[in-house]
Structure 1
Amino acid sequence: MTASGVRNRPIALAIFLIVTGLVGLWASFQLMVEKIHTLENPGDALSCDFSIIVQCAKNLDSAQGAVFGFPNPIIGLVGFMAPVVVGAAILAGARFNSWFWVTFNIGIAGAFALVLWLAYQSIFNLFTLCPWCMVVWSVTIPMFWAVTLRNLKVGAIPAPRSLRKAASAAYSWVPVIALVGYIIIAVIAQVRLDVLSYL
């Protein structure tokens, strides 16, 4: 591998995918452990239940906690393996065709949409904030923006030149974009649930 070949690989993105994927896996694992606990010990308080607002139990026991007929943490345990594997493959020297990046992006976009829907359900219908769920949200949001903007920037996703240029400029601002997303969710949750008064 030449020095230029190494430079052309998205090393920073690869490391980011591995780290966020592992964090997502860990949060999903913790949620699965808590779900098993609720099945074995119905009615028991969970280790992630801190108040009537900040808790996991209500989310895990709800219909929204099993969107596809099985516990949502299983989706995370399977899904978060993908960014870890992709990131590790890039570090090992793999190069993926555009169709692969588009497919990967579609998967992450699906995760992003699910996270937004679950955040809405949690705040407006369940009236709770699940700590481990929020960890999943916190890694999925920047992962979506990082992969989408990267794919637009390099042309993996066909787009007009102006959009590619905008994506290229925005790519370095992914942390700020994610932070804005966190703040929006936090403000909505505070206005709707008055979270601070329950901490």
Structure 2
Amino acid sequence: MTPAPTRTRRPLALAIFLVVAGALGWWASFDLTLERIQTLIDPSYVPSCNISPLVTCGPNMASPQGSLFGFPNPVIGVAAFVAPIVVGMALLAGARFAKWFWVLFNLGIALALWFVIWLMIQSIFVLGTLCPYCMLVWSVVIPLFWYVTAYNLKEGHFGNRGASREIARTVYPWVWTLVLLSYLAVVVMAQLRLDAITTILRTL
């Protein structure tokens, strides 16, 4: 008599996180796209995200860095953030994906993180601004990368077996510390380059 196949538990927490994070990133990208359209229609239009000389999105949108591929960067977000929403909803509905799918999904998020890091550097060190909508996208992509990568390691989707997989399972509940450290690194860069904390407090 052959044993019944074991069923793996659905990653419900990860699924909910993917939907929420994807929705937040999509909303920020969509609003920034609308703001960019308004500035193209009316050059005198002041974007709602222009809060102060430091906390502003106008210079970012109008810069060459804001249209790296010849069109506004937020359009990429509008398209790309649909992916985590769809994957999360599918997991909630009971879908199970093959290992190759998780690897490709992880690769896509890694590319998104690379793009976000480049945008951070351009915004903080070149343009000298902190775009509110951009920062929301940053704050979403960072945990997306860490949690999806940690989940894939835990489940052995990268081919890891034995001790490495057990280590990943042990470390997985503490991934939030990597997220916080990543956020802290961004805050430190902004503070050292722009004295962001002092400047923001003065505008309140």
- TM-score band by shorter chain is over 0.9
Give unpaired runs (5+ residues) of structure 1. Answer: none
Distance (Å, rounded) in 1 between the aligned partners of 2:54 and 2:36:
18
Distance (Å, rounded) in 1 between the aligned partners of 2:115 and 2:160:
25
TM-score by length of 1: 0.93
CA RMSD of aligned residues (A): 1.5
Q: Which residues in structure 2 correspond to 1:61-76 (within 5 Å)?
A: 61-76=62-77
Give 1:147 deviation, angstroms.
Answer: 0.4
Match of 2:33 in 1: 32
| Identity across matched positions, percent | 52
- Structure 1 segments of 4 or more deviating over 4 A? none
Q: How many residues align structurally?
A: 195
Give 1:160 deviation, angstroms.
Answer: 5.7
Query: C-alpha deviations, 1:66-124, integer Å up to 9, x for none?
Result: 11111111111000000000000011111100000011111111101111111011111
Which amino acid is 1:195 matched to? A
Contact 1:52-1:198 within 8 A present in 2 as well:
no
Match of 2:98 in 1: 97
Give unpaired runs (5+ residues) of structure 2. Answer: 1-5
Distance (Å, rounded) in 2 between the aligned partners of 1:127 and 1:161:
47
Which amino acid is 2:155 matched to? V
Match of 1:113 in 2: 114
Contact 1:51-1:198 within 8 A present in 2 as well:
no
Match of 1:42 in 2: 43
Moved more, 156-165 or 116-125: 156-165
Which amino acid is 2:96 matched to? R
Match of 1:185 in 2: 186
Moved more, 38-47 or 115-124: 38-47
Give 1:43 deviation, angstroms.
Answer: 3.9
TM-score by length of 2: 0.91
Match of 2:3 in 1: none
Contact 1:55-1:130 within 8 A present in 2 as well:
yes
Match of 1:81 in 2: 82
Give 1:162 deviation, angstroms.
Answer: 4.2
